[in-house]
């Protein structure tokens, strides 16, 4: 059983920064991790994804240039550094874990992920 656990959400003013963390615990082969978000009344959307081996990292257009995804091999932790936050970044942010490469480099596809965290709230005030 794999259980991703997110932390680091909170409330910040526009222009501020937050760093989200996701620890993936359990016995498994880690292929990659990703971050998605869901704003009130909207569909869940891809934010960023990273391969656990190799240089692959992918970002949604809304995240490019402002968000950075990174990983710590020793602790099976993925991070999402979010800078220059905007009110439209307000959402519940979910961490997800890939345990296979079936979808290869398509980190933006929810079906590529087998396990999901409970989410952490990020609120950006104007």
Provide the β-strand partners of residue 82: 18, 67
Q: What is the mean pLDDT of residues 88-108?
A: 92
User: 3-state class of 113 per DSSP?
Assistant: coil
> What span, in angstroms and rounded, lies between the C-alpha atoms of 42 and 13?
22
The pLDDT of residue 76 is above 80: yes
Q: Among 18-27, 53-62, 97-106, which is the least confidently predicted range?
A: 97-106
Q: What is the pLDDT of residue 1?
A: 79
Rounded percentage of the chain residues whose pLDDT exceeds 90: 82
Q: Could you give the CA distance from residue 122 to residue 46 in angstroms, rounded to a whole number? A: 15
Q: Which tokens hold the place of 24?
A: 């993936």
Structure-token pair, residue 28: 């498994």
Residues 29, 50, 114, 30: what is their CA dihedral angle, to the nearest 10 degrees? 10
Residues 6+ apart with CB under 8 A from 43: none
What is the mean predicted confidence (pLDDT) over 49-75?
94
Question: Is residue 27 scored above 80 in pLDDT?
Answer: no
Measured distance CA(84)–CA(67) in Å, rounded: 8
Look at residue 55 in the predicted model and tell me its pLDDT: 83
- Higher local confidence (pLDDT), 55 or 36: 36
């Amino acid at each position: 059983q794999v259980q991703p656990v997110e932390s680091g959400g909170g409330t910040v003013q526009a222009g501020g920064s937050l760093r989200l963390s996701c620890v993936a615990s359990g016995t498994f082969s880690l292929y990659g991790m990703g971050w998605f978000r869901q704003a009130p009344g909207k569909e869940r959307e891809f934010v960023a994804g990273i391969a656990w081996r190799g240089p692959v990292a992918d970002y949604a257009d809304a995240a490019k240039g402002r968000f950075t995804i990174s990983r710590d091999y020793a602790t099976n932790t993925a991070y999402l550094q979010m800078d220059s936050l905007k009110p439209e970044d307000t959402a519940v942010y979910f961490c997800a874990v890939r345990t296979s490469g079936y979808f290869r480099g398509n980190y933006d596809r929810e079906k590529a992920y087998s396990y999901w965290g409970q989410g952490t709230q990020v609120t950006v005030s104007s």
